[in-house]
Chain A
Amino acid sequence: MIRLLSAELLRARSRKLVKVLLIVGVIGIAVGVTIGAVNSTKPSGAQVAQALEQRKVQSQRCQRQQLDENGAPLGAVGDCAAPLRLFLPQNAFDVNDIADLLRGTSVNLIVIGWLLGASLAGAEWAAGTMTTLLTWEPRRIRVLFAKLFTAIATVLVVTVVLQLVFVGLLWLLAATRGVNLPDPGLWRAIFGSMVRVSAIASLAAVFGMAIAMYTRSVAAAMASGFVYLAVIEGLIRGYRPGLAQYLIGDNAIAWVTGRPFTTNDPTHPVTLVHAVVALSIYAVVLVAAAAASFRGRDVT
């Protein structure tokens, strides 16, 4: 199994698509951050000091409003921490926005994950190399799992590299043309976002690969993903809103944000745990179907 994994990792590393996606991703990030840099103006020291003071005053006022005359809470205590950017000139980039921006890139990275997963399996069918591979390793379930592992590892590396580049350039932007005063917990928020986004992109790779193994086509794997998200989820939301909490879209949003999310029923939001469990079950079902199909069908 180790040899097979080693071969699959070498194959993935040699794929042009992986390099192209990395290069295009880095170029996209660089262009985006450059546009951000052009539109951002570094605030003066006085503006920053004023913003910090205004935030402090607002925070104290907020906290006072939540207490009665004796200093006891009036009810549930809300979060009085306001982002610094609310008190800064509008065109100043705030380093504390990095975590939100990272979450904003998740759609792109999920698509990259799906595409890589689909391609690492589908290209084998298209090139006919699955036949060659099976004449070297006929244990098909091993082959499938080696490919799944490779897809997950590849997507993890690609998404982590792209996110690190993104964070690094945004940090540079904040330091040179914005405000670089990180709130406590910023690193934790950034790390959490990176982990969740990379994890869901890897899960997307599993979805893409499982469908590509079943359909034996990259295009079919990509198309089925888009048709499901663009059409089927919309129809289900429209006609059976009660099922929204089981949809991939709602669960993916809860997974990426790490916060409860709902589109239809505020009393039953999708939590992070719910999202992880639901999406993992879907992945297991898809992989099981792909494994059964791969094992049973002829390779012609």
Chain B
Amino acid sequence: MAVITIEGLRKEYRRFRRPTTVAIDGLDLEVPEGGVFGFLGPNGAGKTTTIRCLLGLVHPSAGNVHLLGADVSRALPSVIGGVGSIVESPALFPRFTGRRNLEILGRIQGVGRTAVGDVLTRVGLAERGDDIVKTYSLGMKQRLGIAAALLKDPAILILDEPANGLDPAGIVEVRGLLKSLGAEGRTVFVSSHILTEVQHTADRVAILARGKCVATGPVHEVLASRGGEGMVARVEDLAAGEQALRAAGMAAAVDGDALRVSVPATDGARITRTLADAGLYLSELRPDEVDLETVFLELTKGDSGDVG
């Protein structure tokens, strides 16, 4: 079952005496229940606008958005109790304590103080919960935002750049948190510009460019769809290795300090045997995989701005 369904979503911003900006241009997207879903795109691709449409903050110019089965334009209130979110940066009152911020939000859905303490502990802010938010570091504010999103014990979490401002240790913590939330059966819909993080965390991804979805699916499928079929072998004598492999019927070519061999990853044993028979011994043999960053850059080539 899809927890998020977006069909033909379009959002235009009309501004006085300025050309109309199209933030999202016919976006279709389906996010299945459970696991971590990475939502990627360069700055201005429409990620945050999509998230705002999902949460009813922005009215779409066209298209349909369904969240937990409810039409967002009509029935969002009936499902909002199951949706935790951070939009852009966590917006909380800087002069209130972290705990008080959460207590205020909790009251809206009838969430008690015990739950507030629990989520503060879960994000590692139990000891700083009674300090005012103004004194928090960016990373702590981010964690407080995640705590606020978790407060409803949501079925789906929509997180816009949750690792923003976190130090490396914090990023690892958030990665672990997102994975554990996904493993609990919740759906974690996360937009991020830290592509390696998404690759390590997400089960599925969608890549957005110029307001449209240009790739979607399980991470390994998206990677596989963009080349990466083959093996990389490293031997001392590259020319001899190339010759031996070609003689064995494998398409091989020297690429820098390695050999690229166009065979399926399951043919690793064949390469090993061929080279060994030729008296060449491997120092490295690995699948020729592309990473998410390469795929992302290829798919969003020509799009404006940095990754974001």
Contact = CB atoms under 8 A, between A and B. Distances in A.
Dominant SS among interface residues on chain B: loop
Interface stretch (B88-96, B187-195, B222-230): B88-96
Interface string A121-140: 00100011111111111110
B109 A131 contact: no
B57 A7 contact: no
Contacts, number: 80
Nearest to A9: B107
A298 B92 contact: no
B110 A136 contact: no
B58 A138 contact: no
Contacts of B175: none
Contacts of B25: none
A14 interface: yes
A299 B88 CA distance: 12
Can you list the 5 inter-chain pairs with the closest CB atoms, starting with the nearest?
A: A128-B91, A7-B107, A299-B57, A298-B58, A136-B108
- Interface range on chain A: under 10, 10 to 19, 20 to 34, or 35 or more? 20 to 34
A134 B95 contact: no
Given A14-B96, A134-B55, A129 B107 contact: no
B154 to A, nearest CB: 10
A123 B91 CA distance: 12
B239 interface: no
A128 B109 CA distance: 20
Contacts of A129: 91-93
Contact of B80 (A16, A136, A298): A136
B85 interface: yes
Interface in B103-161: 103-105, 107-110, 148, 152
A138 B77 contact: yes
A7 B109 CA distance: 9
Interface in A1-54: 3-4, 6-7, 10-11, 14, 16
Given A129-B92, A135-B55, 10 more contacts: A4-B108, A7-B105, A10-B100, A10-B103, A10-B107, A14-B93, A123-B93, A134-B55, A136-B80, A296-B59
